[in-house]
Amino acid sequence: MNRRRALFGSLVALPVAALGVAGYRSQRNPYYDGPESTHFDGLRFHLGGNTRDKSRMDLLAWHFGGERAEWPASFPSPHRDVPPPRVDGDALRVSYVGHASVLIQTHGVNLLIDPVWADRASPVTFAGPKRVNDPGMALDDLPSLDAVLVTHNHYDHLDVATLSTLARGKAKRFLTPLGNDAIMSDYDAAIRAEAHDWGARIEVGRGVFVNFVPCYHWSARGLLDRRMALWTAFVIETPSGNIYHVGDTGFGDGAFFKQMKDTYGRFRLAILPIGAYAPRWFMRDQHVDPEESVQIMQIVGADRAMAHHWGTFQLTDEPLEEPPQKLRAALDRDGLTHDRFAVIRPGQTLEG
């Protein structure tokens, strides 16, 4: 038990990081029935030569053959944030809620990304990865939101219960990639999500635009729906510089990151994942490690970066505090100062 989660807990947790790697027979997409495209074959979304699905044997080898670090039951943050109603002008305020959830405030626009206030990143409330720290702010303390952005449908990013609460007073709009709108509306018709493909550019107010851009990841909510909903990263254009937010990604061949620099130029900030990467043989195609996150920051030419996707839910095998340690080592290796890539705890903010 110290080396591996119980079998039942493993099966419940699988949709978060690796569910759907085993074979399946479904020939109907329950979420999306749009036209075929360069990355949709009529049933599933894909990344061309960069799509690498794991086998059942790979899955079993990960879950039962290796060392899984033991996390503490609690890793509380001493910080708690109460955001202002708005942040005007060129000022930028990013509040870290925890895991992949962040609130971005700039130019009078409030954007909340991948909001998860649930106790577990799981399809059920009684098993699966349990958070080891509270969200960095209360739901009631959120300001009015111009848009909620959801990157993809894994349970640590798409929390339908939280979205349902936000749909009743806090949020004006929900923006998400193709197919994820069906997941939301099936849970609660009040979540009126707008679904978009890669390449979409959506104005959210005051000269701020949200761009849907590709990343190296995948999707699944259950055993039979692998890659049936699209996943995305976001480029947020503002009058004072662009923000690159990646919910989850592998490094792949790095072409998408070079494309970001070529298309959008300078980035004021990159918000990048640093956790859920071990073991590398299993996770590298879907989750970057800290060293690769530093590479991405440099490839896209970001002035600064902020880390997320670590220290809240244990999804993979690495020790809880290893991601920031490896991040600092990677910055030292490349001769970069630690404040160039900020690591903050839930309830803390990055301003500038």
What whole-number distance in Å separates Cα of residue 321 and Cα of residue 328? 12
Q: What is the mean pLDDT of the chain?
A: 92
Given a cut of 70, whether residue 5 has pLDDT beyond it is no
Radius of gyration of the chain (CA): 19
pLDDT tens digits, residue range 107-136?
Answer: 999 999 999 999 999 999 999 999 999 999
What whole-number distance in Å separates Cα of residue 324 and Cα of residue 4? 23
Residue type, 229: A
Q: How confident is the model at residue 15 (pLDDT cuts 50, 70, 90)?
A: very low
What whole-number distance in Å separates Cα of residue 211 and Cα of residue 44? 22
Given a cut of 50, whether residue 59 has pLDDT beyond it is yes
Closest CA to 11 of 97, 93, 127, 104: 127
Beta-bridged to residue 305, according to DSSP, are 270, 341
| Residue in the structure block whose two tokens are 């490839």 | 299
What's the confidence (pLDDT) of residue 200?
A: 98
Taking each helix axis from N to C terminus, what angle separates 290-300 and 322-333, rounded to the nearest 10 degrees?
Answer: 50
pLDDT tens digits, residue range 246-305?
Answer: 999 999 999 999 999 999 999 999 999 999 999 999 999 999 999 999 999 999 999 999
**Element counts in the chain: helices (H) and strands (E):** 8, 14
Given a cut of 90, whether residue 56 has pLDDT beyond it is no
What whole-number distance in Å separates Cα of residue 11 and Cα of residue 142? 34
What's the confidence (pLDDT) of residue 62?
A: 82
Phi/psi at 138 (nearest 5 deg)?
Answer: -80, 150
The model's pTM is 0.93
What's the confidence (pLDDT) of residue 64?
A: 77
User: What domains lie within the chain, and their CATH numbers?
Assistant: 92-351 (3.60.15.10)
What whole-number distance in Å separates Cα of residue 50 and Cα of residue 213? 15
pLDDT tens digits, residue range 134-188?
Answer: 999 999 999 999 999 999 999 999 999 999 999 999 998 999 999 999 999 999 9
Run of H or E including 236: strand 233-237
Averaged pLDDT, 214-236: 96
Tokens representing 347? 């309830």
What whole-number distance in Å separates Cα of residue 230 and Cα of residue 336? 35
What's the confidence (pLDDT) of residue 19?
A: 45
> Which 8-state DSSP code applies to residue 301?
T
What's the confidence (pLDDT) of residue 10?
A: 38
What whole-number distance in Å separates Cα of residue 329 and Cα of residue 334? 9
